[in-house]
Amino acid sequence: MNSRALVVDDDTEMVSMLEVGLSSCGIQVTPCTTGRAALDEIAAHEFDVVVTDLNMRGMSGIELCEHICASRPNLPVVVITAFGSLDTAVGALRAGAYDFIAKPFQLDVLRLTLERAVRHRALRNELKVLRSALSTTRRFEELLGNSPAMRRVYDTLTRIGDADASVLVTGESGTGKELVARALHHCSRRSRGPFVAVNCAAVPEALLESELFGHARGAFTDAKAAKDGLFLQANGGTLLLDEIAELPLGLQPKLLRALQERTVRPVGADREIPFDVRLVTATNRDLESAVEERRFREDLFYRVNVIHVALPPLRDRGNDVLLLAQHFLERLGGPKAGLTGISAGAAARLLAYSWPGNVRELHNCMERAVALARFSEITVEDLPERVRDYTPARIIPEGDEPLVTMEEMERRYLLRVLDGAGGNKTLAAQILGLDRATLYRKLERYLRLKPADV
């Protein structure tokens, strides 16, 4: 554990036994035989957990627990007693004890309890740090996160803020691609101009050309007046084309010409109108595969993919989950409802969950938790069942076979299939259910890798 424990008991033999037993588990033990001496140690040194007997001469374990909780509320206390009645347990917990163990007990039981207590303390401290970090963390509009993956995104946005080059933002659904586009607009010289966004998949194909480029009066039925398209509405600012992979093939050459010439021709018009727009496109699809499958024009792909910003999934962002959860708690009115934060148990479940719906799913989870909360903190019971009961998948090796990373497992499988296909990459791609471009990229990456050191 590499933790520091303060062990308090007026029975010197018990203290010595616990010191030897816990030290063998990697816990650094400081022994004390009175409650007063324990308080002096706590005032002078840092500890991760306190273990105290309940019935001691002078200051009892209950009294010691009350003093510790008043002065060091984040220091967990585990109470040990030979009187394992329910009333005794309730009294210890009411005094602020983290847990209660009745004698006689197994050393492993105590060790596991201390490990949980130390993890509980670490999570509480992490939550405290993250709450204060909300006011100081680097923000790009609503983008939040201190993970290395997000810092790389911030660095890219800072470097390209004032450039006019087109930007392609990719990432799984719910990762915040539109937030990146808004952040890019906000930190650029175009921030005083308009920000206009359209979802290419949400507009019927027959109307999308008019939506993007505008139309002249009488261009089609009900076109009683001329209308500027989104390119002209975003003039001087930023235009986001979300779900760019869904852009109809027939419209792609017109978009390509508009980007090359920096002009648009409204439907039914006989003249072209210049525009000044920073184009940002976004997709959760693999555009390179779409090019390979001839669903997306290669020349348009290179035109929109001048600068690529890849958003990481939430499961790869570590403690950003808690930072975002605290942010959503405050934005959803948690403090007004008397909610002060997230319990350590709930935080542990949030960190363990895989978040297939990414940040959007986390927002929905916290909205539910705020609505259902009954206490001053979000508890495990307030979380959705899928989060409460989630168990990470574990691969159990057969015999003495060591575990390997998912990347190494995929590398081995791809090479095995390729070998079985006699080196025929087209056949291997068909067997794997991949398009050739995706297989080539994976092979290019994996053939540079050395086998995992297992």
The residues near 346 (Cβ < 8 Å, ≥ 6 apart) are 369, 377, 378, 379, 380, 382, 383
The pLDDT of residue 396: 47
The phi, psi pair for 365, rounded to 5°, reads -60, -45
Tokens for 165, please give them. Answer: 């080059």
Tens-place pLDDT, residues 147-174? 889 989 988 988 898 888 999 999 999 9
The phi, psi pair for 2, rounded to 5°, reads 55, 45
> 73 with 125: CB under 8 angstroms?
no
Mean pLDDT of 45-58: 88
Place of tokens 């986001």: 240
Give the Cα separation of 184 and 182 in Å (integer). Answer: 5
Burial class (CB in 10 A: 0-12, 13-18, 19+), 397: exposed
Give the Cα separation of 242 and 330 in Å (integer). Answer: 29
Q: Identify the top-confidence range among 75-84, 331-340, 419-428.
A: 331-340
Residue, of 408 and 341, whose pLDDT is higher: 341
The residues near 131 (Cβ < 8 Å, ≥ 6 apart) are 326, 341
Q: How many residues does the chain have?
A: 454
Burial class (CB in 10 A: 0-12, 13-18, 19+), 156: middle
Portion of the chain with pLDDT greater than 90, in percent: 37
**Largest distance between two CA atoms of the chain:** 98
Tokens for 352, please give them. Answer: 């363990």
- Is residue 246 pLDDT above 70, yes or no? yes
> 31 with 15: CB under 8 angstroms?
yes
Tokens for 8, please give them. Answer: 């308090």
- Is residue 403 pLDDT above 70, yes or no? no
Residue, of 396 and 235, whose pLDDT is higher: 235
Give the Cα separation of 377 and 350 in Å (integer). Answer: 14
pTM, to two decimals:
0.63
Tens-place pLDDT, residues 110-135? 888 888 888 877 777 766 666 555 54
Question: Terminal CA-to-CA distance of the chain, rounded, Å?
Answer: 24
Model confidence at 195, pLDDT cuts 50, 70, 90, reads very high
Tens-place pLDDT, residues 295-343? 999 999 999 999 999 999 999 998 899 889 988 998 898 888 888 888 8
CA atoms 121, 127, 130, 134: torsion sign: negative
Nearest Cα residue to 351 out of 380, 312, 311: 380
- Is residue 388 pLDDT above 60, yes or no? yes
Residue type, 82: A
The residues near 453 (Cβ < 8 Å, ≥ 6 apart) are none
* DSSP string across 219-257: SSTT--S-EE-HHHHTTTSEEEEETGGGS-GGGHHHHHH
